Structure 1
Amino acid sequence: MGKKRRARMPIAEENGSSSDTVRPGDWVVVAELATPAFSVKNPEAYQVASPLPLPLPSTLLGGLMRGVSLLDSCTGGIASQSCIEKTGMMVKAAAPLSKPGQILGVEWEVVLRRLRKVLEPDSEKCSKKKNAGKRSNRALDELREMSDALLRGYITPYNPVYAVFVARNRDDINKIEKAIWYIDRLGDSESLVSARPVGRCQLAEVRSRSVNTPVALDSAVGGSFTVVYAPARADGTGGTRRIEAIAIAMPVKREAVERGYVIVYSEIEVEGSVYGCSVEGIEGRINVAVHESFHEVSGYGIWMPA
């Protein structure tokens, strides 16, 4: 039996819509994320922290929440309910963008040494142990109790990583652009990033059946893509209660070279409606093409649109 087609949604007005469904008429902001290397941990990986080729929607939204927090738009810290609600009032969905045919970069691994428990409730106790250890022959042993090693994978981009944020209303675009400037990480604490908005455009229905943003795997019918699993869906209040995970098709592929492989941006063929627009970036035109189910992917991870 064929898939049951979703009912077509009416076209949004110029100022957008409060609905969670991404539709023609929505305004989007395209952001450039320049970084020497980034690592977004694959949630399915065990012990070895293998990286995802592109950041998940939840990673991008978490970075934007930091900007919202630093702009004094919410209280209680980056991951507070206030920040979640404020961000959800501005942003309908977010995802990385690909530039089909362009090389994203290469993957490599490094051994990291980190201190555990320093940010946990008993961190004060650990700190006292470390200070006392300076006056004790047990200092090295006590430090080892907090030290750990981790094999972590990173992606070194040859070109900037791009992301798209869908605004709930046109009036929210300026707020989103301001918050983008404050995104300073793209994954783990070593993945420093310099972010800036590069343009805005308004989605319209297009004839193409290819997208350059992630889609739920069951929406992909062709093209070249990498399958990843998003973290469990958050509940409707923005909490982190685990309900389910979802398979996502990422618009990237691996291509063999003389001594290994490189990660290359690609396109995904889909069924259903595709909405698109474009902005003029520093290094040429940046196209945005999203599937009608785009909003279904955005809600997975630590954050979910209200």
Structure 2
Amino acid sequence: MPSSQQPVALIMGASRGIGRQVAIDLSKNGYAIMLAAKTTSDASKTTPFPPDPNSSSSTINTVEREIREAGGQAGSIAVDVRDAAQIQNAIDETVRRFGALDVLVYNSGAIWWSSVENTPLKRFRLMQQINPEGLYATVQAALPHFERNGWKGRIVVVSPPIYSRFFRGKTAYAMGKVGMSVLVKGLAMDFVRQDRNQMAITSIWPASSIESAATEHNKSSDKSYKKDLRKPTIFSDAVVEMLRAPANIVNGLLDTDEDFLREKCGVTDFSKYSIVPGSTPRRIMPEKFPVLEVAEQDDEGQRMDSAKIRASKI
């Protein structure tokens, strides 16, 4: 799968929590890491070091320092994913600095969980810009580099399996996140149709809540909430295994960390991931998800390509 001796991963949204952990663990598995996020800092002046990975003190610069001090290769670049030019620059700088782009992880995200009437249009637009639009712009900027690699590479997207309960109470948020999963499914089908058999795009989501800045924000005063939390290493372990799996196994897959590790990797004991030893965190995702394919899956009729139609008229 890698196009270079040391595979290169660009992680969008790598400053804290899940993104940081994925970066740390991919580095431990031999990847050169480019870290991208909006907020930066002077890592040399960060005290204590390393900072709390779920606090604002943790930035792409401190994560870069963590990786370097552990003997890994890393770089960092500030990116606002609402700006396509900044995204393009991050992709190009990754290739310039490390010579390749083998893996793209899109973990950037904006969150607002509330009813439609309590979600201001400004907040809705922000989520769409950062979640589906940011992903779309990032994937489009990366595809030419994967093409130059001979269509060898992986894209991992932090978005959920598609099911009805996910829409409840957070419709505006769900519209964007489910849209990201639709991109995963659609691009995966394009890879198959175009015989790009060494490319894969995969979606991953937590089966149980993971300790992060978001869960810390919603914490209860008696700390009992921690019994329902898992360490972010369950997520990064699943990402590492997804990248190791054959492309045809993970292309178009919408899965959770726990389910992938259990069903594809044979993991049966998840106790090491519990924040509170001996606890069994509540599963926030369904045990089974609906099948999205229909009986007429391959009966498209006449395929229309708007880009070709427009080009023929020029």
With normalisation by structure 1, the TM-score equals: 0.24
Instruction: Give the TM-score of the pair, scaled to structure 2.
Output: 0.24
In terms of fraction of residues, the more strand-rich structure is: 1
Larger Rg: 1
Higher helix share: 2
Q: Which has the higher contact order (CA 8 A, sep 6+)?
A: 1
